[in-house]
């Protein structure tokens, strides 16, 4: 009998559409590898209001790539009956309510294997403040940063100017303001003066109660993919280039705005350093299964700074994670197969 894989996608997150695309790519990879692997894909879709759908509705969303239109107030959560048949879960949810440990906790309680990191790894890996604390502890070099919370921005009008003063005293412009628990550059701003700083903090606070402000660096952007559990492997290093001010949402998802270079044209010693740092980062947050680690490479000094880890990275056919593995002799269908096998191994 074929193993029933619950492909869990969509989700209550600003990255809902990205997740649909990732799920579609994984479903077609499993269909492609059908004669090899004997999996049956059961799509399970989480609508933007949090309701779960299986069956025709979920199949249809994969086909059309159109999110289900839902009323946000009709959010009575329930399991579709099919859920009890699933033998391995493949959550391919990006951002909050999916990449952050919440879904992982639910799957853990269901006592069914699931692809990717557990509760701690997911939670550490999504929160840029927690992540950076773990990286610092592991001795990984990174940019200077300050952690901020929503109450410092919103609650007390006397606190806010002092907070901005403190940020200006700690970091130089330009700096980056980011909601701590998002991805795809949602809510991120590069700010060059006090007014932009204030606007960006206010905006970031609308996404998250935890916010991070980082010193801006001028650097090449390189990434590395990690695969495995207790003895994880790092892929070749890839680079992203673009003409925009930074790698923002539009640049990420508009065709032609970003170029991927795999493998990155960097010295071998730098690539080896990036791979070693990726494995250290993976261990530092207790990740499992997969992760994509993002870096800044300052060519002039040879310095490599870790930017972040993503425990459920973009997984479309053209995404960096599967492409870096394809360039490391792990084609997309085989990559999906290994992830499922690592989930079973870890259970």
Answer with the entry of ligand ATP, Mg ion, none that 208 interacts with (C-beta below 5 to 8 A by kind).
Answer: none
3-class SS of residue 310: strand
State which of positions 158-187 bind Mg ion (CB under 5 A): 183
Answer with the entry of ligand ATP, Mg ion, none that 13 interacts with (C-beta below 5 to 8 A by kind).
Answer: none
CB of 126 to Mg ion, least distance (A): 8
3-class SS of residue 45: strand
Of 95, 97, 102, 198, nearest in space to 148 by CA: 198
Residue 191 φ/ψ, nearest 5 degrees: -115, 145
Of 181, 134, 183, nearest in space to 282 by CA: 134
CB of 309 to Mg ion, least distance (A): 8
CB of 52 to ligand ATP, least distance (A): 24
Q: Which residue has the tokens 């999916």?
A: 98
Nearer to ligand ATP, 138 or 217 (CB): 217
Interface residues toward ligand ATP, by CB under 6 A: 143, 176, 178, 182-185, 188, 214-217, 221, 246-247, 294, 307-308, 310
User: What are the residues whose beta carbons fall under 8 Å from the beta carbon of 266, sequence distance 6 or more?
Assistant: 220, 222, 237, 239, 274, 297
Verify binding: residue 127, Mg ion, rule CB under 5 A. no
Q: Are 289 and 347 in contact (CB under 8 A)?
A: no
Answer with the entry of ligand ATP, Mg ion, none that 247 interacts with (C-beta below 5 to 8 A by kind).
Answer: ligand ATP
Site string for Mg ion, 307-346 (x = CB under 5 A): -x-x------------------------------------
**290 strand-pairing partners:** 227
Answer with the entry of ligand ATP, Mg ion, none that 114 interacts with (C-beta below 5 to 8 A by kind).
Answer: none
Q: From the DSSP assignment, how many helices (H) and strands (E) are in the chain?
A: 13, 13
């Amino acid at each position: 009998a074929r193993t029933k894989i619950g492909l869990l996608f969509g989700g209550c997150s600003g990255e809902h559409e990205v997740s649909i695309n990732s799920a579609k790519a994984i479903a077609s990879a499993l269909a492609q590898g059908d004669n090899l692997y004997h999996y049956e894909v059961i799509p399970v879709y989480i609508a933007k209001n949090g309701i779960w759908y299986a069956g025709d509705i979920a199949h249809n969303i994969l086909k059309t790539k159109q999110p289900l239109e839902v009323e946000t107030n009709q959010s009575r959560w329930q399991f579709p009956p099919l859920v009890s048949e699933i033998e391995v879960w493949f959550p391919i949810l990006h951002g909050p309510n999916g990449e952050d440990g919440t879904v992982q906790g639910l799957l853990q309680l269901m006592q069914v294997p699931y692809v990717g990191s557990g509760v701690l790894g997911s939670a550490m890996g999504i929160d840029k403040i927690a992540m950076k604390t773990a990286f610092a502890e592991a001795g990984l070099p990174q940019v200077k940063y300050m952690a901020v919370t929503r109450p410092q921005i919103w609650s007390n009008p006397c606190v806010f100017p002092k907070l901005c003063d403190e940020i200006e005293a700690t970091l130089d412009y330009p700096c980056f303001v980011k909601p701590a628990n998002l991805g795809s550059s949602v809510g991120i701003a590069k700010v060059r003066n006090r007014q932009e700083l204030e606007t960006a903090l206010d905006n970031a606070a609308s996404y998250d109660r935890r916010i991070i402000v980082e010193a801006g660096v001028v650097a090449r952007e390189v990434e590395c993919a990690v695969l495995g559990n207790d003895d994880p492997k790092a892929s070749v290093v890839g680079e992203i280039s673009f003409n925009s001010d930074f790698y923002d949402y539009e640049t990420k998802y508009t065709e032609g705005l970003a170029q991927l270079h795999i493998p990155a044209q960097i010295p071998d010693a730098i690539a080896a350093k990036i791979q070693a740092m990726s494995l250290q980062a993976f261990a530092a947050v207790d990740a499992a299964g997969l992760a994509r680690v993002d870096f800044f490479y300052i060519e002039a000094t040879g310095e490599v700074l870790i930017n972040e880890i993503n425990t459920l990275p973009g997984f479309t056919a053209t995404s960096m994670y599967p492409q870096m593995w394809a360039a490391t002799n792990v084609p997309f269908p085989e990559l999906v197969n290994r992830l499922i096998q690592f989930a079973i191994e870890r259970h």
